[in-house]
Structure 1
């Protein structure tokens, strides 16, 4: 029997900005936090999966749906991958609702090709729509949160970046960059009540269909993608964006009803007795270097330095 602890994750009097909120998981995030009382800025310029074009319809449709259900929402159809667009999204939240409490950086596009077939402009496009799309909203939003001494930031990463995936060079690189944002935002936000986490979601969306190439001629593939439901991810994002979440600098994996935490650590390694080493030393001691027994999980680069300079402080295996 599964025992569920009943608590209320509420967004009453909170304002949440969701980039890429017009379709797919982004729209699911908007609906979930709105259902829990949030006023929502649905930021989506309506570009296609390649990152081209614009269409205000998706963002406006999500807003209309939330308002029809008795919620509060406003659409921002600016391109948040630009400095101007990100600033305008944050200003819209403050202007319309008087505050900004949480940001879900979800916007992006997709392209799939072998490494040697990746055009430069495609690679740059992925970095712009994912990584800069987060940075240009988070930077002005972080300033607002510092003044309020409260904030929640959720950065949408991907297992394709952290663990790798064939054909996804630009996407994987951009999504792994979200972890760099998370680490610094977590450290700099700690004294201001700002918690920042990342999520690696899996769910069926138009981008997932585009990457996998699943179509009407592949019923088995389509049936599997249907098991990756958006309602298995949106509640996790809602928790991370809420006041109930005090965790920070953590990567969560969420799909098919499972929620897990990702740890990025270092092995205890091998240390040269006299501080000098050779390539032959590396080869000879490779088993010790690769041994993950007693894995260390530093929070900052200084933590790792401390493990080396003060080995007596290491926790026991």
Structure 2
């Protein structure tokens, strides 16, 4: 099989200063892409600002013979997201790939989640992605080429106790991906998602004290960043024609998320009652023959 190359391409990776984001930067650079390492350097709770992580990653790529620049703006703001895209175009003349990876984490039971924390998590994940993808999409549309990769999470798609804000934000990334994939198709722009798991700062924060136990460390050590970064490299490449798909990646396993609807039950008269729903629940929830729509229009058009 021909080696996947990103020579001549320019990639912007948000949250690129540490953890999985850093791994994405190095993998894309190793395959020839010029990298905008975007990271404001906040702590996992969203506080603080440190330009060094982004600068260090960019410097290490350059030292290895690659091309990279750091951007430390705050993508959770409209101006910060636009600045990241502008840096890519200014320094490298184009923008081919966006990996929307930035985010923070909080862990509270649902009844204890403060509104300001919920809003902060949405800003640093979902709005940060939107603020970068919207201006990037315009650049890609003009070039008639682009690769958008949105980092989601199984914690959102399937749920995880304590992560209300994180789960909501990460599931929102799938909605953003869905629309970007549909609108990008006529312009050669693919939009895909990834649900990664790896032993990073954020994983440590989620696990808390358990992450410092022998069993906890052993578990996290099985979830390596190098088991995820190659999936992102594929999605960032010309070899990828897949779009509108979310990939699960951890522990050496790669799988695709299928979001579908059952064939359900249709009232013969077109009207129904709550009692009808209760009576036909086995048919409504039967997963046999699951339908996987490509859009809301597809679901409405299915002949069930």
Answer whether TM exceeds 0.5 for this pair: yes
Contact in 2 for aligned 1:105/1:156 (Cα 8 Å): yes
Q: What is the match of residue 80 of structure 1? A: 75
Q: What is the match of residue 33 of structure 2? A: 38
Q: What is the match of residue 182 of structure 2? A: 187
The structural deviation recorded for 1:7 is 2.4
Q: What is the match of residue 54 of structure 1? A: 49
**Alpha-carbon displacement from aligned partner over 1:169-210 (angstroms, at most 9, x marks no partner):** 000000000011111000100000000000000001001001
Worse-matched range after superposition: 218-227 or 145-154: 218-227
| TM-score between the two structures when normalised by the length of structure 1 | 0.95
Q: 1:141 aligns with which of 133, 136, 145?
A: 136
- Aligned CA RMSD, in angstroms, stands at 0.9
Instruction: Go from structure 1 to structure 2 and tell me whether the alpha carbon gap of 1:90 and 1:164 turns closer, same or farther (over 3 Å shift).
Output: same
Worse-matched range after superposition: 222-231 or 6-15: 6-15
Alpha-carbon distance in structure 2 between the residues aligned to 1:206 and 1:160 = 16
Find the residue that maps to 2:255 and give its secondary structure: strand
Number of residue equivalences: 304
Q: 1:166 aligns with which of 161, 166, 174?
A: 161
The structural deviation recorded for 1:215 is 5.6
Contact in 1 for aligned 2:204/2:211 (Cα 8 Å): no
Find the residue that maps to 1:34 and give its secondary structure: helix
Q: What is the match of residue 205 of structure 2? A: 210
The structural deviation recorded for 1:217 is 4.9
Instruction: Go from structure 1 to structure 2 and tell me whether the alpha carbon gap of 1:214 and 1:31 turns closer, same or farther (over 3 Å shift).
Output: farther
Question: Does residue 1:12 correspond to 2:7, yes or no?
Answer: yes
Question: Does residue 1:70 correspond to 2:69, yes or no?
Answer: no
Structure 2 alignment gaps of length 5 or more = none
Alpha-carbon distance in structure 2 between the residues aligned to 1:277 and 1:61 = 62
| TM-score between the two structures when normalised by the length of structure 2 | 0.99
Q: What is the match of residue 280 of structure 1? A: 275
